Structure 1
Amino acid sequence: MSYTGDVAKGGPADVRELPGLTISKIEVGDFGNNAYLLRCTETGDGLLIDAAAEPDRLLELIGDRPISSIVTTHRHQDHWLALADVARATGAEVVAHPLDAPELPVEATRTVGHGDTLNVGEATLDVVHLRGHTPGSIALVYQGSHVFTGDSLFPGGVGNTQKDPERFNQLFTDVVERIFDRLPDETWVYPGHGKDTTLGAERPSLPEWKARGW
């Protein structure tokens, strides 16, 4: 079966095989959080995006193959409830943006900013700083056509900025300039909650998002 990104709490992972990288997506916790396990197809090294909840399920997903990193996309608690347990069990480095890292339950062993890269074995992820949902929200881009956006971009709009015009304008500008202006329409979007989308599906709605202010 082909990957759709449609997952449900307690259900199986949806798995996507890409050149150089395998992506496994599951839903965990009470807030519909997505967690993504990325594995290098050459070395087997792994990276987990958002240890959001249900550490036992995340550790079952990881299995007996090591992961080198756990990336937290932003400071909100629903994205790191299982972080301490998974980090302790795996020994993986804890990665976050320096503006959000102090809010995590464990110390970040590595901080990253806009333009940095993360390695998963032989695969490389580009770090994109998207300011607005939180000060230190980040997205990860693989091969210029796959982007893990945390809570900064979803089907239908950018992330919640609590009706703050300044924060919305900052997030909207960052998402347009750093995601939509740089990546092609076929780019697949893997958000922090809910269903996946593509930039091509969302791009026509950008003027509407800007006009409504959320």
Structure 2
Amino acid sequence: MPGLGHVEPGGGPLVQQLSAALTMIKLSVGPMDNNAYLLQTRTGPSLLIDAANDADRIAALADPAPEMIITTHRHGDHWQALGDLAGRWHPQLYAGRPDAQAIAEGAGVSDIQGVWDGDQLKLGEEYVEIIGLVGHTPGSVVVIYRGDVTHLFTGDGLFPGGVGKTTSEQSFRSLIDDVESKIFNIYDDDTVIHPGHGDDTTVGRERPHLEQWRARGW
């Protein structure tokens, strides 16, 4: 049975009103079921979160063209369409500061502006906030929009059922600590989590399992 915010790989988009001023379009792209999220305001700039793949499919949904693209982390499946769309749209590019250079080199783009905890990106009269999660990569970021409820676009840092993949005990501890202190200790249970792959979830659904994740080590 499809879960919250389900989109089919290669299928149509999910369109959701996050507030009176901002619409989210979610699309599954590429062979790894990556989620690309387009945040569109009625009158101001728009923001694409992860130009992951399938540039033509993303571009077909983006009218007018986004003025900003943020890449949630350096792994290649999250920026396969970045060079193509950056060349078409000439947007301002953003990424977590520790991952920005790796993304620029991999995607063949330049002038990625690094962002981290407390930074904001303006969307007309709206804005999103940024927090960093260290562990899945050194510079993974979460994009936060406070709409009718709060929405967290978590990349591969947090999924239904656990945190993102890590390659060492130290990296896991860093990620689980960041997720606990920067997400679970801050946001209410109705906060929606929009991950980099697959269905959405909420903070309330995942909160009871946090200690289980910590004990199992992944």
TM range (shorter): over 0.9
Structure 1 residues 13-42: Cα deviation after superposition (integer angstroms, max 9, x where no partner): 10111222100000000111000000113x
Summarize deviations over 1:97-128 as a string: whole Å, max 9, x none: 12101112212432111111111222111100
Alignment of 1:52 onto 2:52: yes
Query: How far off is 1:68 after superposition?
Result: 1.0
Shift, 1:4, TM fit:
3.9
Kept in 1: contact 2:59–2:65 (CA 8 A): no
Residue 141 (structure 1) aligned to one of 135, 141, 144 = 144
1:18 has 2:22 as partner: no
User: How do residues 94-113 of structure 1 correspond to structure 2 at under 5 angstroms?
Assistant: 94-104=93-103, 105=107, 106-113=109-116
Q: Does 1:198 align with 2:197?
A: no
> Counterpart in 2 of 1:120?
123
Residue 31 of structure 1 is matched in structure 2 by: 32
SS across alignment from 1:99: helix
Q: Distance in 1 between matches of 2:125 and 2:133?
A: 25
Q: What's the RMSD between the two structures over aligned residues? A: 1.3
Calculate percent identity across the aligned residue pairs. 46
Q: Secondary structure at the match of 1:189?
A: strand
What's the CA shift for 1:44? 4.3
Runs of 4+ residues over 3 Å off in structure 1: none
CA contact under 8 A between 2:15 and 2:26: conserved in structure 1? yes
Distance 2:9 2:47 in 1: 21
User: Equivalences for 1:62-77 in 2 at 5 Å?
Assistant: 62-63=62-63, 65-77=64-76
User: Partners in 1 of 2:45 and 2:118 — Cα distance?
Assistant: 22
Q: 1:5, CA displacement in angstroms?
A: 1.2
Which residue type is aligned with residue 40 of structure 2?
R
Hey, what's the Cα distance between the residues in 2 that align with 1:91 and 1:211?
45
TM-score (norm 2): 0.93
| Cα drift, residue 83 of structure 1 | 0.1
C-alpha distance in structure 1 between counterparts of 2:169 and 2:191, whole Å:
28
Tell me, which stretches of 5 or more residues in structure 2 are unaligned?
A: none
5 Å-filtered alignment, 1:73-92, equals 73-92=72-91
Whether the 8 Å CA contact 1:125–1:140 is kept in 2: the answer is yes
The number of equivalent residue pairs is 209
**TM-score where L is the length of structure 1:** 0.94
